[in-house]
Amino acid sequence: MAPVSPRFKRLLIAVITLLGLFAVYQTFDVSSTSRSVKTPNTYIPDTPVGQNVTSSGNNLRAALVALVRNSELNGMRSTVRQLEDRFNNRHNYPYIFLNDEDFTEEFKDGMRSVTKAPVYFGKLPTEHWGLSPYVTEQKVQEALEHNRDRYLYGGSYSYRLMCRYQSGFVYKHDLLKDLDYYWRIEPDVHYYCDIPYDPFKYMKDNKLIYGYTISPVEKAETVETLWETTRKWILENPDYLQDKSFIHWVVNEKSVYTRCHFWSNFEIVDLSFYRSEAYESYFQHLDRAGGFFYERWGDAPVHSMAASILLRKEQIHWFEDIGYHHPGYAHCPDKPEMAARCVCGGGSDYMYRSMCNRRFGEVGNIHKDQVLELAAMPDK
């Protein structure tokens, strides 16, 4: 047999080395970073959202979702880092970040670096982010000027776009279309407590539709006609009501709006609720009324009104054990078995003093006929 030339040996070694490097690359998990398909608007890992989600042997189609700006990178990184430490490092649920502008590479790289979970970036469709077709630009500008000094974000057009989007469009984004549940998250918030279980699974196992942590009172000037507009929808659409409703949390026995609402910067929701024909009908009714722009109807009072009217009390859950702070309010569990998992020291006791929290415990469901009677009562 002829001797192998040195040149052939070097070539053989080079081929073997390249094959080895390729094998290492194939086995290294880069599904949430470089192995992706990039389009101008969306970063998509290799696998569809629903198929990326595994939790304790279950395949819950769920994700943590944020509407966020490029400028909020540091605040969003802080939030995700806490969620990873407190909960998601054990479950690996994906994160979905949405923006009305293209995300920068700096933002994408910054978010990928704080989690091993799948990460998605999406741009909002232009038809979901803009002036409602039911209002006029001139009247909107007049309303912004009138409300500028009356309350927070009184003169903000972009804030109203956000509230309308969160009320009627976020769950329609393509990146959420295969999800059954979503957990809304925001930048610059704090999660005080370890979460030793899966809230998504808890929602599913207990047939819960809506979960929250904080329930304040909405400023009256921002929702001056929300209940008036809502009761018209109730009377026009009685078939959408269940036999029982938790409406007494948001409207008292004299048909007066309590302005109680679930603070939607934290909400865990069965998305079949937002996708339902009843909720879509309600949102369209509100949109036609123009209150997102002419007043400042927030997604929190809208979600809360819809949930209280269309759901029963037992379908709504207070996540008392999840300590949480968003600028403005905070909640820290005070029960010893809950507080032992938290670092807030029990000083953030807003929810235990909250009128709306007390009311949540005191009132119950009422029958559909009583809901219609409330809606038909004369204006006070």
The full set of domain ranges for the chain reads 31-187, 198-380
Tens digits of residue pLDDT in 311-362:
999 999 999 999 999 999 999 999 999 999 999 865 567 899 999 999 999 9
**CATH ID of 198-380, from 3.40.190.10, 3.90.550.10, 3.40.50.1970, 3.40.50.720:** 3.90.550.10
HSE-CB for 36 with a 13 A CA cutoff: 20
**Of 273, 257, 357, 352, whose CA–CA distance to 312 is shortest?**
273
**Residue-level pLDDT at 24:** 38
- Examine the pLDDT at 40 and tell me if it is beyond 80: no
Strand order from edge to edge, sheet including 316-318: 36-38, 43-45, 119-123, 95-99, 62-67, 181-184, 267-270, 210-212, 316-318
The position carrying tokens 């290799």 is: 46
Whether 267 is catalytic is: yes
Do the two domains 31-187 and 198-380 of this chain adopt the same fold?
yes
Instruction: List the catalytic residue out of 145, 267, 280, 373.
Output: 267
Written as six digits, the tokens of 188 are: 């610059």
The number of residues in the chain equals: 380
Question: Would you give the distance in Å from CA 105 to the centre of its chain?
Answer: 24
Tens digits of residue pLDDT in 55-107:
445 569 999 999 999 999 999 999 999 999 999 999 999 999 999 999 999 99
Q: Structure pTM?
A: 0.86
Q: What span, in angstroms and rounded, lies between the C-alpha atoms of 319 and 333?
A: 10
Give 143-202 as a 3 state SS string.
HHHHHCCCCCCCCCHHHHHHHHHHHHCHHHCHHHCCCCEEEECCCCCEECECCCCCHHHH
- Angle formed at CA 358 by CA 318 and CA 65, multiple of 5 degrees: 25
267-297 per-residue burial string, b: 16 or more CB within 10 A, e: under 16: bbbbbebbebebbeebbebbbebbbbbbbbb
Sign of the CA dihedral with 146 first, then 147, 148, and 149 last: positive
Q: What span, in angstroms and rounded, lies between the C-alpha atoms of 28 and 26?
A: 6
Tens digits of residue pLDDT in 238-284:
999 999 999 999 999 999 999 999 999 999 999 999 999 999 999 99
Q: Which CATH homologous superfamily contains domain 31-187? A: Spore Coat Polysaccharide Biosynthesis Protein SpsA; Chain A (3.90.550.10)
